[in-house]
Structure 1
Amino acid sequence: MSTAGQTNQRTALRRPVATGHGDLAAYARLAKLDIYDYYLGLLVVWTLLASGVRWKPQTFGLLALVLLAEVVVVAAMVGFDDVTGYRDGSDAANYGSDAARRRLARKPLVAGTLTEAQALRFSWAATAIGSALWAAVVAAAPHRPVWAVVLAALCVAASVQYSWGLKISYRGFQELFLIGLGVGWTLVPYALLTGGASGFVVVQAVLFGSGPMLFGLYSNTNDADGDRAAGRITVATLVSAPAHRVFVAAMTGAQLALIAGSAAAGAAPWWFPVAMLPLVGMRLAHLVIGFRGDILRARRIAIHAHRVTVVLLVVADLTAGALA
């Protein structure tokens, strides 16, 4: 096929005729409301709290407000991400050829169920509302350590500019963002409720944050060609496929080392690595499956491993509280 023909084909893929109706289901898909993995950190935060704080009505109220703020900010982030992916053709390239497994309908611009203008209006409105909600969270919090307030603002700013504005996910910082948002959204609400964070809290925040980063690495592996064509810089687009598998293995190993090392260093109870053994098994499973080439199956297992991590951390925190 000629260069002109390839260009026309790419344009046809990413410029479907949108209905323009913009029903609620299409906006829900734009906001990716079915992807709740970052929000699960609030369960970990709640179980980390001392029992005297955990059951206060004010605690439930603040956590509910944080949840709402997180959902709206993520809606802005993924809305802008879809607009950018639609404009540069990467979503059509990454989803159009694999719709059965990756559900093309989750990309309403590519699927033609929303227009670009509708998606942009939604994303800007979510940005304004999400920023206001986070300001309300800080105002309502019983504690306001400066570092936590700054970290909250940084998380909001980075989320909105993930694929828009500074486009940090296009500039080589995607992997750092994926882990950083989970860490931030665990440490910030905990600190706003308690005034600080212990070593064990930091360990759990990093364990939680590394979950989305790990399953994101498999997405990057699958999307490397489309991302490279769109100019999106990730580790997967910069190195060979074998080198990226080594990188995924190193990041997986780093999480497992954190589990063992935190107990050895005294930041976590001695029994913490034992409690996390189911996670270790799942991490090794998706690593082997990914190395064998079934990237999307490995990604699914990595997503489930992140959710299992939350369950294990909740049980560990409740156990630690009972033993204290």
Structure 2
Amino acid sequence: MTSSAEARSFAAGTIAAESKLRSYARLGKLDVYDYYPAIAVALSAVLPQDGRPLSAVLLTSALFLFGSVFVIMSMVALDDVTGYRDGSDTANYGPDDPLRNKRRKPLVAGALTVPEALRFAWVTAAVGAVLWAAAVQTAPYRPTWTVVLIAVLFVVSLQYSYGVKLSYHGFQEAFLCGLGAAMVLAAYGLTAGHFSGLLLVEGVLFGFGPLMFGVYSNTNDIPGDRAVGRPTVAARVSAKGNAVFIGALSAAEFLLGAAASATGVAPWWFVLLMLPVTALRLRQYLVGFRTGDIMRARRIGFRVHRVGFVLLIAANLIAGTGAAA
């Protein structure tokens, strides 16, 4: 069954009709899974250690993972509602931008209504909250800082583009990185029971993945974001300033790993293991700002992130087994 708006869109020949279930999956961005491996990064640092209650670690990790899926589905659905209401999504995914897939925005495509999107967002938020509470309840450890972090993470995630609209007050870039870092640390705290400087570094490096394809998206979306007053760095600075900013972020990613190795927070070989990420990040930058193909650079960013979290998992397994001591 299709909505009347979807039928009109289909009749106009702009978009083919699809099921409501598929539209809800698109609203929740289930095909973009790049935050969810945060739990695998944390788990890889815990499992090589002796003396952990394995069944409790796996159950807690699974509950936190599924809770994360629902919380992030709620977050991105609320982001779509705000983007549709203020017109930025219509501008960024409209007929003047053939590089963006209109199906990815079910409200813009007419496949869902705003009330349907809001119901979806609040239901998924409630399910996510229950699953995260269950993860805390079943966790082998419940350090106070971890429980507080999870509570803050839940509240702040729903305020990303809704409510106080953090991304509309200059916090978008910090949020994209911070969300990934917080997920790594929260999953680790519940299963390891203590804070780790290495996992903080890994969490920030993990968060750099979504941040770095986010800033390329923002570069493409400058006209729409400026029109609605969404103050991303790309929308606030000149083209050259934005290129410098993204270049600085790319360099900072490498320097963080290098500093961790140099200070002993990470093993000496950690920076060397992560060099493929640095090489791919350089390629991403050159494609985006020398070739001028921002959307291709954004796609490269997904690949960089996926290589990166695999290497982070490898680093934890190597460190845990002492293979490269």
The answer to whether the superposition gives a TM-score over 0.5 is yes
1:309 maps onto 2:308 in alignment: yes
Confirm whether residue 36 of structure 1 aligns to residue 33 of structure 2: yes
Residue of structure 2 equivalent to 1:94: 92
Kindly indicate whether the alpha-carbon contact (under 8 Å) linking 1:162 and 1:168 is maintained by their aligned counterparts in 2. Answer: yes
Map 1:1-324; keep pairs closer than 5 Å: 17-18=5-6, 23-51=20-48, 52=50, 56-97=54-95, 100-292=98-290, 293-323=292-322
Letter in 1 for 2:237: V
What is the Cα deviation at residue 55 of structure 1? 7.8
Secondary structure class of the residue paired with 2:93:
helix
Q: Deviations over 1:274-307 (max 9, x none)?
A: 1111111101111111112211111111111011
For 1:197, what is the secondary structure of its paired residue? Answer: coil
Question: Aligned to 2:37, what secondary structure does the other structure show?
Answer: helix
The CA distance in 1 between the partners of 2:219 and 2:252, in whole Å, is 19
Tell me the amino acid that sits aligned with residue 35 of structure 2: Y
Distance in 1 between residues matched to 2:53 and 2:203, nearest whole Å: 21
Q: Distance in 1 between matches of 2:45 and 2:96?
A: 41
What is the identity percentage for the equivalent residue pairs of Structure 1 and Structure 2? 51
Under a length normalisation based on structure 2, what TM-score does the superposition of the two structures give?
Answer: 0.91
Q: Which runs of 5+ in 2 are unaligned?
A: 9-17
- Structure-2 residue corresponding to 1:4: none
* Aligned residues between the structures: 309
8 A contact 1:22–1:114 mirrored in 2:
no
Number of the residue aligned with 1:7: none
- The Cα of 1:26 is off from its aligned counterpart by 0.6
C-alpha distance in structure 2 between counterparts of 1:250 and 1:220, whole Å? 16
d(CA) in 2 for partners of 1:38, 1:97: 30
Shift of 1:98: 6.3
Query: Contact 1:210/1:255 (CA < 8 Å) preserved in 2?
Result: yes
Larger CA deviation: 203-212 vs 55-64: 55-64
The alpha-carbon deviation at position 233 of structure 1 amounts to 1.2
Greater Cα offset, 51-60 or 305-314? 51-60
Q: 1:111: how far off?
A: 0.7
TM-score between both structures, scaled by the size of structure 1: 0.91
Preserved contact between residue 92 and residue 100 of structure 2 (Cα < 8 Å): no
3-state SS in 2 of match to 1:84: helix
Distance 1:222 1:54, change over 3 A: farther
3-state DSSP class of the match of 1:17? helix
- Contact between 1:95 and 1:103, CA under 8 Å: does it hold in 2? yes
Q: Provide the rounded CA distance (Å) in 2 between the counterparts of 1:36 and 1:171.
A: 26
User: What letter is aligned with 2:87?
Assistant: G
Shift in CA distance, 246/139, structure 1 to aligned 2, threshold 3 Å: same
Decide which structure has greater helix share: 1
Partner of 1:8: none
SS in 2 for 1:96: coil
Secondary structure in 2 matching 1:143: coil
TM-align CA RMSD: 1.8
Q: 2:25 & 2:298 partners in 1: Cα distance?
A: 23
Instruction: State the alpha-carbon separation in 2 of the partners of residues 230 and 53 from structure 1.
Output: 54
